[in-house]
A and B are shown apart, each in its own frame.
Chain A
Amino acid sequence: MKRIVIALLLVICGQLACMAQKGLAINRLFDGRYHKDSCAVETMVRGAAVQKYDLDLYRSVTITGRPADANEIVPLIRSDVKNAVDSEESYKNGKLYYGFYSLGGKQTNRYILYLNQNVADGDKIVLLYLEGDAGVKQVKRMLKKKKNVVNVDNF
């Protein structure tokens, strides 16, 4: 009977671990701390708006005019992307400017995207977390499509 109880507890713990947005360090940034922050915007999008990109979840935090926040965010990203299956980084002035990381996943693909405009010519830090069936190529294609939209708008 003890074995059964232990097995049951293990199953429940496993399920709870799945629920807890998969144990990422950046998850602590989505704990609601930015909801009332006048320098920050937090978004979460699910459903049809992201399904067109083959994604299930889109989460983001944008922080404006507070470059020091990168000192907290970057180490969290670093800890999450240690085992990334695909990554792309760009540094400016010795600091991380842009990062694209695919974390892979057994059931669903997960991505972290980071942009720190403060090290270039802007004042925003943007952190994205994407989750869904979309592969790396699909996500990059989605970004390229957005870029084309920007170019058309500029034209």
Chain B
Amino acid sequence: MQDIDIHKLIDKYFDGTISDEQENELRGMLLSGNYAGEDVDEALAVMGYWAVRRRNNVGGRRRRASWAAAACTAVAIFVGGWAIYGLHHDSAPESVAYINGIEYIGDRATDLMDSQLMMMSVAAGSVEESISDDLSVFAGLVD
């Protein structure tokens, strides 16, 4: 409907029968950027509005860039979320041990963890004892 109106207005414009009010209306329609066609381009050229319309289109480009930025941000958040989720919720078993090429899942791994921590604790304890021995030597010297 709008399309028909603008073509009628353009015809009137070129016939010289268009009123001032209609010409203003036509100018607004042409600059809105919502219409296309040979007669629209011709009317824009004759009325000298090409530059204005192109400038208006820059706004459209900016809007497209904003959408692209929003889309990229959404993708980045998705990838980031997926990466973090994957770190904590991958499908690997909670406890696994490899002994002589055999995979053990569950208690065997936690038992190994306990025995390794015990070895470490004994070593850490020996370090503390060694420090304590060293200090006691110096304590003997200080009177």
Footprint of B on A, CB under 8 Å? Answer: 1, 4-5, 7-8, 11-12, 15-16, 18-19, 34-38, 41-50, 56, 58, 60, 62, 88, 90, 97-98, 100, 113, 115, 117, 124, 126, 128, 140, 142-147, 149-150
Contacts and interface: CB of A to CB of B under 8 A. Distances in A.
Interface in B22-48: none
Nearest to B80: A15
Contacts, number: 129
A48 B94 contact: yes
Top 10 closest pairs, chain A to chain B, by CB: A47-B94, A36-B101, A147-B121, A146-B121, A143-B121, A15-B83, A35-B98, A11-B76, A98-B123, A43-B97
Given A16-B83, A147-B125, A126 B101 contact: no
B95 A45 contact: yes
Interface string B102-117: 0100000110111011
Interface residues of B, number: 41
